[in-house]
Amino acid sequence: MLHESPSPASVLPESPTTWIWHGLIAPGCITVLSGDGRVGKSRFVRAVVGHRRRGQPFLGLAVSRGTSIVASEEHARFWEWQLKYARIDGSAMYHIEAHPGVPPSEADFERLLRIAVAARQSHGVDLFVFDPLSRFMPDLGDAPLDSIADRLRPITDAGVAVLLVDPPRPMIPAPFADIHLELRRVSLTNPSTGRRRLIAHRGFAETPASLRFAMDYHWSTGRLLSERSRPDDPPYWPTLKQLMEQSPGKRTRNELHAQWPNAAQRPSKITLWRWLEAAWAQGQLDREGMGTTKEPYRYGLATEVSAEPRSAPVA
């Protein structure tokens, strides 16, 4: 049920000796969880932390019993409602609410670090979640992303695992992360389904490269799904591939649309976007950018065509 490759693209040496979620979250390590907006990252985190109450395996991987702190931008009452709705026992987790509408200060962040270290010593807390990090850590300014690991050193040195949701300045893999996971949709046509794929861009030998799974209705747990073989190339792929081969560097959708070799058979821009996203989802293209007007997606031929299908966003 895992990817054909047993390990993520970037494998770090010296694996941890103990795991909170086997291969994915470990004491003293930083795990990053990124993904498109509204893909379900917060709900997924609640499910992971909820399995720690009794140490139940999640997605076929062992989960250790323990206590967690989740620093979230969600209001405390909404957080409690979410746990109740998802039927998750929150007795083994503490919730810290971000100050609404107030940018995080250096003093607030330092206080949060002290809370984490003290909770480790007094209550055995071994997992601290920032969801998202930007609501609790002051802006980095011109500092490199690597400095995030130094900022979190008091927690990791205390033996606490750190799970960061949506780090600033999205970069895959995040240079400061020991493990970088990306949550993606499986279905290109039904965004409401609970089917997802967890891709590991960096990790250890024990880190699975990919998990394809379906969350239950309440997003309290999930089950692994079998992998599917890659479908045959669609009719438009030869033309799209030829255009990519002739284009130096990655190109935006508008640039590719303008360069389409046969004007009479040129697709509409929305059709071309769907083709590009489908090719990216199948691992035939690489994609970079934010998908915004100022920073649109740029596409290029994948350096290595993977048998691992990816999940594209829905229009």
Domain assignment present for residue 40? The answer is yes
Long-range contacts of 118-122 (CB under 8 A, 24+ apart): 119/67, 119/69, 119/94, 120/155, 120/158, 120/159, 120/160, 121/158
Predicted local confidence at residue 36, as pLDDT: 87
Residue 227 has phi, psi (to 5 degrees) of -80, 155
Same domain? 203 vs 280: no
**Residue reference for tokens 């209705």:** 217
Q: Which domain CATH number covers 173?
A: 3.40.50.300
- Which of 224, 253, 286 is a domain's end point? 224
d(CA 57, CA 48): 9
Across the chain, the runs of DSSP E, i.e. the strands, are: 10-11, 30-35, 67-72, 93-97, 125-131, 161-165, 179-185, 195-203, 210-215, 222-224, 251-252, 285-288, 298-301
Residues 280 and 165 in one domain: no
My answer on whether 249 and 220 are in the same domain is: no
Count structural domains, the chain: 2
The answer to whether residues 126 and 155 belong to one domain is yes
Mark whether 84 and 196 lie in a shared domain. Answer: yes
- Beta pairing class for 298-301 and 251-252: antiparallel
Q: Which residues form the domain of 241?
A: 237-301
- Asked if residue 215 and residue 179 are part of one domain, the reply reads yes
Q: Which residue has the tokens 């999930």?
A: 222
In a domain? residue 310: no
Indicate if 217 and 258 belong to the same structural domain. no
Q: 249 and 205, same structural domain?
A: no
Q: How far is CA 132 from CA 42, 182, 206, 253, 294, in A?
A: 9, 14, 26, 30, 23
In a domain? residue 281: yes
Q: What is the CATH number of the domain that holds 249?
A: 1.10.10.10
Asked whether residue 5 is assigned to any structural domain, the reply reads no
Alpha carbons 184 and 197: distance in angstroms, whole number: 5
Q: Look at residues 224, 256, 283 and tell me which one is the last residue of a structural domain.
A: 224
Residue 249 shares a structural domain with residue 164 = no
| 268 and 296 assigned to the same domain | yes
Q: Are residues 161 and 26 in the same domain?
A: yes
Q: How many Å apart are CA 147 and CA 23, to the nearest integer? A: 24
Cα angle: 288, vertex 293, 295; to 5 degrees: 30
Q: Is residue 140 part of a domain?
A: yes
Are residue 207 and residue 265 in the same domain, yes or no?
no
Q: Could you say which residues of the chain have pLDDT below 50?
A: 1-5, 304-315
Residues belonging to the chain: 315
